Every structure is written in C-alpha cells, then in structure tokens.
C-alpha cells in the first residue's frame, strides 16, 4: 500500500505511509512536525494553506557544516554569547500562512525568542538563545516544515542576500506584451480595410492571445493568489475586484477570438496588469528608499565622536572607516561593529534583541552595531564600516512598532469591500435588465461592467503618493520610519514638546558658575565625568570647561535619568545634577542648574541660560491654531515666565517631570481620546516617544537617536516643523482625492459599459488613462504642495 497524499506536505513520495491520529504521513519528519503543531495548538496551519512549502526528501546530515564555528560566525549578524540573531532568505515564502507559521517558530522551538518575516524581500529574521538551541537546529526545523533557507557561504562572506527578481520579470513580460498587443490592435481600433491586414487578422489575434497567456498566468498570478486567500478568510480585499476584472477580460477576449466575434480586450488586459505591477514595483522601491540605501549620499542624522590625534571631533556615521577610534558616551548607540579598547561597557542590545538587560563587556571584546552603552563613556576601534540599511532595519524592528487599527491600506481595502459588492450588484441588475430588453447584449454588458470597474487606479494612488512624499521628506532631512507615520501625523490633535535639547539649542547656551572655585584637578575630573554623559546640559558644560587634559575613565559611572550623575575618578567621588539629588540647598528654583558635590563636599552650581531655537515663536504660533500644545520638561519652572511671554497664551506647561512621569502624562491624554505627538531629544524622552502616537526625535550633532521614535528631524530645520505636518495632512487629502478621481473614471466607464458601448478602443483609452492620470495626479500634487517647504 502506498500513500497518495501526505497530510502534512500534501505530496505522494511513494513511501509506506505512517499512520498517526487517523492521518497518514509520508515520513517521520512530516509526522514529527504535525505532532509539534498539534501539541502547541497550531494545527490551523493546515487550514491556512494546504501546501505552504516544499519538504526536502532528506535533510539528515545536510547541514552538518553549521557546526563549524567559523561558518556560524559569518552567518550570524549578532552574537553576544547569550543571544544570537540570524537572517535567512526563504524563497518559498509566498502567502499569509507562510508568515503565520514562520513568525510562530518560538512555539516550535523554545530557544527562539522572536522570528519576523519581511514579506516583500522574503527574509526571515530569527533571534534565539544560544543555550537552548543553535543555528543548525533552527535551519533543520524551518527546512522540515517546508521553508528551506538559501544559504551560500559566498553570500555569507559578502553579507549579500539573493534578490528576488520575480517582480522585475513580471513587469518586463507585461510591458513587452502590452506594447506589442497595442501595435497588433491598431488596425482593429480603426477598422482599417486593407488586404494584407484582413488576410492575417486571425494570425494577429492568435499572437495577441499567445502573448496574453504569460501576462495573466505569470505576471498577474499574485493578484489571484491574494484574492483567493482573502476569500478563504472571508475578506474582500482590493485584489478581489482586480482578479475578477482580469479574469473577465481574459475570458471574454478569448471567447471573442475563438468565435471570431472580435479582437477582444487583450491590449487593455496587458495594460491593466502592466500598470498594476508598475505600482507594485514603485512600492517596492519605496521599501528600498526607507532602508536609506541611496549610495550613502543622504545624511542619516546619527553622528559619532571620532578620536583623532587625541582630539575629539563629531563626524557623520557614513564617514567612519575601519580602524577609526570612536568615543561612545552614556546612552549613545553603537553605529558600527568594533572592538572595545577601554571603559566600562554595559551594552543594552534591546535595539537588536528586544531584551534590555545590559551585557557586560571587557577590553578586547567585540561590540555589535545597534547596542546602546549604559555605563559611562567607552572607546572602541572600528572593524567594519557603517551599514545604514542595517541601522534602519533595526529601527523598523517589530519590537518597537506601534499597532495602528486604521491605515490607508485598510482604507483601500474597506473601499474595495463595498466597491466589490456594489459592482457585483450593478452587474447583476444590468444583466437582468438587458436580458429582458435585449438578451443578445446581456453577456456583453455584464462582462463590460466587471472589466471597466477594475480598481487599478485605486490600488496605485497610495503607493505613488507615499513613495513620492517620503522621497521629498528625506531630501529635506525629515526621515520617517515608514509610510504609516504620515497617516498617524495627520490624525494628531495634541503636540508635546520637551524643553532642553528640543526647543532649546545646545550650541548657544550661556553658562555661569557660582560657588567655591574648582581646582584644575577637580575641573579635569569633572570634564572626564561629563565626557561620558550624553545629556544636553552635560554636553554644554563639557564644552565650556577649558582644561585640555582628559583623565582616565571613571571607575564607576551611573547616570540616573531625570536626576543626575554619580561617578568615581582618580579617587574623587562626583555627584552632580539637581539640588535635591546632591542634597544641596536650592539657590534659585527658577533657574536651570547643575549642582556639584565632590567627595561629599558641596562645591557650587552652574547656571544655564537657555538659548531657544530660531523661529520658536513662529512655530508655536502656527501650530497653536490647529493643535493643543504642551511643554513637558524635566527642568524646573524657572523659565516659565519667559516662555509665557514668548509663546501663545493657550500653551500648557508641565515642569519637574521625570521620564516615567512624561510617559504616564501621555498615556492619560490618550485614555481621554487624544492623539499625541511627542517631540523630544531621544534620550530622557525614549519612553514618552514610544508611548505617543507619533514620536519625533530632534537630532543635533550627537548620537541621541532613539529606536522608539517614528521620525528624525534635523535640529536645523526645527522652524520647518509646521510645514512638514501640513504636508503630511495634505498628502492624506491628496490620496483621498485620488480615490474620488479613480471612482469618477469608474462612473464614466460604467456609462459605456451599461449602455453596451464598451468597445476595445474605448477600453484601451480609458483604462490606461485612469492609471496614468492617477499617478501623474498624486505625483504632481505632492510635488506642488512640497514646494512650500
């Protein structure tokens, strides 16, 4: 007895069947996977997709090379001995069930912490615990359930993944067919009565039919798959009417050619698919744009301190070279892989792994890009240059993503749901009417309605609008995490500003000292402590102290956010921060100050006279007309009287707020139904940025970028903030206007269809025209409104 179909893999390999739970399996591998899924209550895997991948016949011993430490090191992106991160290219990822299974690997292997799928690029990113599993076990697991990764040691050396070029092939085939079918259709359009054209008319039609086949069954296959998956899950996504329109176009055109009724609509069919795929291709390019892979010409607003000839200079991350020596301050992000030279390294790799427990490192240990130093300043030597796409990939990590219920894609799908129902009803009523009025026209009218109603323009508007506006924002040094951020900005009604480092400029602060004069040794020690801190006030004071000598690194360093710093260096104990933190008498509660205590002896305090950003008054005046504005600061209320005179009267002020207070304040506003945007410096504000609906980090010339933010704004362009917000709002309006325009095309087309006037030439003009005009419409309008920035 042989098995016809294995319950797990769905193939007949000719083996003797293995029976389990009244089901038959072709091998122990399939049976084992079923048992794992069954135990973990994941058997709905079989309901989602009958055959999610291809099961290799024999994987035993195939991946023994993954026991080799040198090979493992080349494949892993991250490894701190406790946790590792690896990314695989999985060619067989093709649908929602694939994503579902692969993102539930933690239920199949307890060593897996997280697994995330990048569907457009067919990449699987796995974070796992080294003590519970290893790379070989993981590869064997995902291979056994039908998703064999493409592993090439040549790729491991170059760190390059194979690029899936399927979409390029699909677009190319559709473009070739569209151009040629249009040429072959011209005589039919104008009914040219010429001997040779008439003689070879059937050959031309056969050629059009032949070229349409690969366009429908290869180029357009993803729309059929998506529509099928949607219907199986009782969802009417936008691909359902698109697939319906393509099917009807092809079937009716085929019938017309076979029965010698006419030339069909193969030109409109090929054009429709070509423009749809062109929109998808543009959307894929948007993903590439978001990865900041623009020949490294763009300025990614993360800088780092380079130590050269014992002097510290701030440089762009993209200019870092192998062998450079870098200074990483407290709370700064490590932008490149390197070797720790000196300092107390306690690296928070939550940016990479999602776990915030610091990893202790010693001199000579390897440091990975994406870690955040949490215990003073360290120095490291670069062993690999920057990969901006890697940093951005970490920024886009699902760990930091905020769930949003309503997006433009959802709007598109919601419209398409009602749109599909409406079109089917119109087609049905039109068919009934024409059946009784003129039965010979019924088929033509029904099919014409389904053809002309295909919402290709609707599907193109959002990708082109978002792609263009993201390009414009990037050019203007306002970097958004993803396209959804534009939507979220358009829904904001409350904007909260941090004060220090956000509405104040770190480069123009006036500082005075009052108290016991510090010795040169004390100033040198103080500067060494400040050197390790990344707080805006610490950076300003560090620049003020003139002593050139930099003492050895603090043997102890602890920075308590919102309070101050405790450090030990050269047998001197430093405590600096707020008056309450150093247990000193407050001299002037209305001034921003850093109080100093050395060896438990109070010395004095530095007074900071803030210099506010250029255009601050104009920014608040413009924003106050449309938003509720709040200043939420950890500083005291010393400068509130000045701000009340400078800014509009309806501004709310909240001072003496600790980082946790800021987060709770935002959460309370959200519970009242307010949509909050938080604008901060990315350091003390990380929790508030994460809690807000939109978090914007203001970037100076230091590495204060926070993974919790949704956007990064160059500090020099702070005065442009109202225009960026206005442009985001107008982009959403443009997309909605494009929806209306595309529906207008459908109404015009419906007139021709319902009256039985839809000829090939009308379809050939109207359908491409709607797609092209929508693309031109959103591109021109987004460019036009952006000219005001």
- Report pLDDT for 563: 83
Q: Which CATH code for domain 64-158?
A: 3.30.70.100
Q: How far apart are alpha carbons 446 and 430 in whole angstroms? A: 7
Q: Which of 34-48, 139-153, 623-637, 670-684 has the lowest mean pLDDT?
A: 34-48
In the predicted model, is pLDDT for residue 496 greater than 90? yes
Q: How far apart are alpha carbons 36 and 398 in whole angstroms? A: 26
The domain defined by 331-385 carries CATH number 2.40.50.140: no
Q: How far apart are alpha carbons 613 and 504 in whole angstroms? A: 5
Eight-state DSSP code of residue 108: T
Q: Report the share of the chain in percent with pLDDT over 70.
A: 74
- Report pLDDT for 623: 93
Q: Would you call 469 helix, strand, or coil by DSSP?
A: helix
- Report pLDDT for 2: 44
Residue in this structure with the two tokens 């305090």, named with its chain if needed = 605
- Claim: this prediction has a pTM higher than 0.95: no
pLDDT level of residue 411 (50, 70, 90 thresholds): low
- Report pLDDT for 665: 93
Q: Mean per-residue pLDDT for 105-125? A: 81
How far CA 344 is from CA of 350, 375, 526, 557, in Å, comes to: 18, 6, 18, 8
Write phi, then psi, for 13 (nearest 5 degrees). -100, 5
Q: How far apart are alpha carbons 117 and 179 in whole angstroms? A: 36
- Tokens matching residue 700: 């100076």
The per-residue pLDDT for range 734-770, each reduced to its tens digit, is 888 888 887 787 788 788 878 877 765 666 666 667 7
- Report pLDDT for 455: 64
- Report pLDDT for 624: 92
Residue in this structure with the two tokens 């760990």, named with its chain if needed = 399
The per-residue pLDDT for range 229-248, each reduced to its tens digit, is 667 766 666 677 778 878 88
- Tokens matching residue 667: 């959460």
**Spatial contact of 480 and 466, defined as CB atoms under 8 Å apart:** no
* Total residue length of the chain: 789
Average pLDDT, the chain: 77
pLDDT level of residue 64 (50, 70, 90 thresholds): confident
Query: Quick one: how far is CA 301 from the chain centroid?
Result: 17
**Spatial contact of 366 and 337, defined as CB atoms under 8 Å apart:** yes
Q: Mean per-residue pLDDT for 163-180? A: 84
DSSP 212-248: HHHIIIIITHHHHHHHHHHHHTT---THHHHHHHHHH
- Report pLDDT for 618: 93
Q: How far apart are alpha carbons 456 and 453 in whole angstroms? A: 9
Higher-scoring residue by pLDDT: 659, 726: 726
CATH topology of domain 504-612: Calcium-transporting ATPase, cytoplasmic domain N (3.40.1110)
Q: How far apart are alpha carbons 418 and 390 in whole angstroms? A: 40
- Tokens matching residue 137: 């076990």
Q: Would you call 342 helix, strand, or coil by DSSP?
A: strand
**Spatial contact of 578 and 590, defined as CB atoms under 8 Å apart:** no
CATH topology of domain 478-499+614-719: Rossmann fold (3.40.50)
- Report helix angle 721-754 to 439-452, nearest 10: 170
**3-state helix vs strand vs coil in the chain, percent to 5:** 45, 20, 35
The per-residue pLDDT for range 318-333, each reduced to its tens digit, is 778 888 999 888 878 8
Q: Which of 285-294, 375-384, 458-467 has the lowest mean pLDDT?
A: 285-294
- Tokens matching residue 740: 């209306």
In the predicted model, is pLDDT for residue 724 greater than 70? yes
Long-range CB contacts (< 8 A, 24+ apart) of 426-431? Answer: 426/453, 426/750, 426/754, 430/753, 430/754
**Spatial contact of 470 and 715, defined as CB atoms under 8 Å apart:** no
Q: Which of 639-643, 662-666, 741-745 has the highest mean pLDDT?
A: 662-666
List the domain boundaries for the chain.
Answer: 64-158, 167-289+406-466+730-786, 331-385, 478-499+614-719, 504-612
Which H/E stretch holds residue 308? strand 303-308
- Report pLDDT for 375: 80
- Report pLDDT for 297: 31
- Tokens matching residue 668: 């309370």
pLDDT level of residue 101 (50, 70, 90 thresholds): confident
Q: Mean per-residue pLDDT for 46-63? A: 51
- Tokens matching residue 693: 């609906």
């Amino acid at each position: 007895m042989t098995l016809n179909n294995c319950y797990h893999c769905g193939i007949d390999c000719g083996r003797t069947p293995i029976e389990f739970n009244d089901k038959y399996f072709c091998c122990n591998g399939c049976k084992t996977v079923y048992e794992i899924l069954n135990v973990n209550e994941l058997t709905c895997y079989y309901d989602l997709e009958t055959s999610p991948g291809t099961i290799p016949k024999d994987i035993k011993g195939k991946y023994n090379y993954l026991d080799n430490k040198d090979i493992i090191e080349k494949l892993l992106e991250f490894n701190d001995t406790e946790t590792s991160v690896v990314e695989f290219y999985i060619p067989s990822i093709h649908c929602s069930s694939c994503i579902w299974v692969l993102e539930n690997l933690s239920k199949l292997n307890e060593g897996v912490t997280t697994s995330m799928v990048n569907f457009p690029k067919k990449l699987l990113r796995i974070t796992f615990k080294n003590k519970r599993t290893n790379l070989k076990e993981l590869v064997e697991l995902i291979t056994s359930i039908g998703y064999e990764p493409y592993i090439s040691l040549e790729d491991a050396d170059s760190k390059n993944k194979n690029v899936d070029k399927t979409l390029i092939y699909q677009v190319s085939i559709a473009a070739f067919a569209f151009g040629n079918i249009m040429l072959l259709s011209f005589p039919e359009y104008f009914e040219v009565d010429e001997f040779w054209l008439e003689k070879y008319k059937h050959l031309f039609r056969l050629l059009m039919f032949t070229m349409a086949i690969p366009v429908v069954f290869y180029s357009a296959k993803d729309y059929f798959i998506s529509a099928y998956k949607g219907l199986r899950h009782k969802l009417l996504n936008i691909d359902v009417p698109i697939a319906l329109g393509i099917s009807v176009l092809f079937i009716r055109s085929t019938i017309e050619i076979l029965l010698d009724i006419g030339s069909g609509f193969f030109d409109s069919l090929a054009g429709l698919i070509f423009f749809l795929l062109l929109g998808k291709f543009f959307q894929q390019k948007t993903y590439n744009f978001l990865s900041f892979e623009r020949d490294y010409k763009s300025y990614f607003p993360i800088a780092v301190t380079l130590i050269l000839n014992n002097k510290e200079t701030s440089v762009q991350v993209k200019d870092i070279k192998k062998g450079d020596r870098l200074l990483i301050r407290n709370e700064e992000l490590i932008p490149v892989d390197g070797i720790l030279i000196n300092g107390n390294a306690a690296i928070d790799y939550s940016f990479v792994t999602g776990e915030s427990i610091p990893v202790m490192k010693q001199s000579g240990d390897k440091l990975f890009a994406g870690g955040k130093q949490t215990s003073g300043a360290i120095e490291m030597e670069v062993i690999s240059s920057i990969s901006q796409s890697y940093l951005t990939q970490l920024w886009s990590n699902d760990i930091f993503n905020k769930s949003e219920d309503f997006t433009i894609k959802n709007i598109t799908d919601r419209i398409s749901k009602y749109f599909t129902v409406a079109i089917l009803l119109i087609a049905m009523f039109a068919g009934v009417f024409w059946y009784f009025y003129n039965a010979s026209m019924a088929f033509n009218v029904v099919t014409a309605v389904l053809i002309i109603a295909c919402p290709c323009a609707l599907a193109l508007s959002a990708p082109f609008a978002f792609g263009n506006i993201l390009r414009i924002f990037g050019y203007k040094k306002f970097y958004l995490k993803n396209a959804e951020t534009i939507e979220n900005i358009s829904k904001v009604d409350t904007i909260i500003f941090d004060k220090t480092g956000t509405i104040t400029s770190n480069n123009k602060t006036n500082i005075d000292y009052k108290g016991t004069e510090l010795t040169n040794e004390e100033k040198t020690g103080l500067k060494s402590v400040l050197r390790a801190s990344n707080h805006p006030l610490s950076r300003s004071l560090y620049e003020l102290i003139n002593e050139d000598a930099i003492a050895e690194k603090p043997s102890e360093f602890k920075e308590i956010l919102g309070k101050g710093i405790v450090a030990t260096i050269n047998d001197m104990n430093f405590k600096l921060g707020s008056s309450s933190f150093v247990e000193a008498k407050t001299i002037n509660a209305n001034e921003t100050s850093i109080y100093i205590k050395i060896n438990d002896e109070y010395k004095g305090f530095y007074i900071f006279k803030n210099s506010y950003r250029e255009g601050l008054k104009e920014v608040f005046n413009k924003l106050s007309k449309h938003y509720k504005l709040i200043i939420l600061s950890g500083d005291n209320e010393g400068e509130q009287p000045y701000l009340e005179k400078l800014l509009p009267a309806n501004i709310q002020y909240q001072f003496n707020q600790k980082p946790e207070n800021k987060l709770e304040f935002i959460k309370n506003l959200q519970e009242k139904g307010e949509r909050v945007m938080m604008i901060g410096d990315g350091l003390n504000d990380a929790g508030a940025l994460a809690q807000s609906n939109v978090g914007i980090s203001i970037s100076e010339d230091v590495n204060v970028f926070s993974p919790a933010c949704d956007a990064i704004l160059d500090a020099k362009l702070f005065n442009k903030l109202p225009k960026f917000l206005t442009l985001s709002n107008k982009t959403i309006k443009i997309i909605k206007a494009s929806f209306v325009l595309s529906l207008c095309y459908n109404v015009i087309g419906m007139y021709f269809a319902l009256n039985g006037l839809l000829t090939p030439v009308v379809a050939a003009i109207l359908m491409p025209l709607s797609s092209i005009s929508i693309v031109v419409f959103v591109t021109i309008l987004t460019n036009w409104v952006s000219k005001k920035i």
